[in-house]
Amino acid sequence: MGQILVLDQNMINMIAAGEVIERPASVVKELMENSIDSGTTKITVSIEDGGRKLISVTDNGCGMDGEDLARAFEPHTTSKIKTSSDLQGISTLGFRGEALASIASVSQVKCTSRTKSQTGANCIEIDCGNKSDISPASADYGTTIQVRDIFYKLPARRKFLRTANTEMGHIAEQFTRIALANTPAGNKQGLDLTLIHNGRELYRLSDKDHLHQRIAELSPIPSSGISENLIEAESNEKSLHILALMGKPSISRTSKKFQYVFLNGRFIRDKFISHAIKEAYRGLLEPNRFPVVFLFIQMPYEDYDVNVHPTKSEVRFYNSNLVHSQILGCLREKLLGTDLQSHAVLPTATGSPQMQGIGAPGHRSEAISDAMAEFFKKHRPAQTQQQFSYKPKQQIVALRPSAGQIPESHTGAAMVSAFAQTSQPMPEIRSEQRKFIQIHDSFVVVQTDEGFVIIDQHALHERIIYEDLCKRIRKSKLESQKLLIPESFDVTPSDADLLNTNAELLEKLGIELVPFGPRAMAIQAFPTLLTKADPLDFVQDLIDLLGRKDINLDGEKLLDEVLNMAACKAAIKAGQRLTDSEIEQLLRDKVNAESASRCPHGRPTTIKFSISDLEKQFKRT
Sequence-distant (≥ 6) Cβ neighbours of residue 306 within 8 angstroms:
90, 95, 266, 312, 315
Flag whether 427 is in a domain.
yes
- Asked whether residue 465 falls in the same domain as residue 598, the answer is yes
| Claim to verify: residue 184 and residue 242 sit in the same structural domain | no
Size (the chain), residues: 621
Asked if residue 365 belongs to a domain, the reply is no
User: Which residues form the domain of 519?
Assistant: 388-621
Shared domain check, 156 and 91: yes
CB 291 within 8 A of CB 252: yes
* Residue 540 CA neighbour count, 13 Å, CB half: 20
Q: Are 493 and 172 in contact (CB under 8 A)?
A: yes
What's 322's domain CATH number? 3.30.230.10
pLDDT block averages, 10 residues each, the chain of length 621: 70 68 94 94 97 97 93 84 72 81 93 94 94 93 96 88 93 95 79 96 92 84 66 94 91 89 94 92 78 94 85 88 95 85 42 37 40 41 35 35 38 39 39 79 91 91 91 89 90 87 90 89 91 88 78 69 88 92 92 82 82 81 69
Is the alpha carbon torsion for 465, 466, 467, 472 positive or negative? positive
Smallest Cα–Cα separation from 209: which of 192, 194, 226, 197? 192
Residue 408 to residues 44, 288, 468, 529, Cα–Cα distance (Å): 57, 29, 10, 10
Same domain, 196 and 267: no
Instruction: Say how many domains are in the chain.
Output: 3
165 and 239 both lie in a single domain: no
Give the domain-ending residue among 172, 203, 234: 203
Q: Are residues 48 and 190 in the same domain?
A: yes
Q: What is the rounded CA–CA span in Å between residue 106 and residue 13?
A: 9
Q: Which one of 203, 236, 256 terminates a domain?
A: 203
Do 485 and 550 belong to one domain? yes
Q: What is the pLDDT of residue 396?
A: 35
This prediction has a pTM of 0.68
Looking at residue 393, what is its pLDDT? 36
Whether 295 and 413 share a structural domain: no
C-alpha 414/C-alpha 400 separation (Å) is 11
Read off φ and ψ for residue 67, nearest 5 degrees: -65, -45
Spacing of C-alpha 400 from chain mean position: 40
CB atoms within 10 A of CB 407: 18
Helix (H) or strand (E) holding 196: strand 192-197
Cα–Cα distance for residue pair 20/533, rounded to 1 Å: 43
The dihedral built from the CA positions of residue 210, 213, 215 and 217, taken in this order, carries a sign that is negative
79 part of a folded domain? yes
Name which of 560, 540, 558 is nearest 549 in CA terms.
Answer: 558
User: Is the domain of 318 the same as that of 446?
Assistant: no
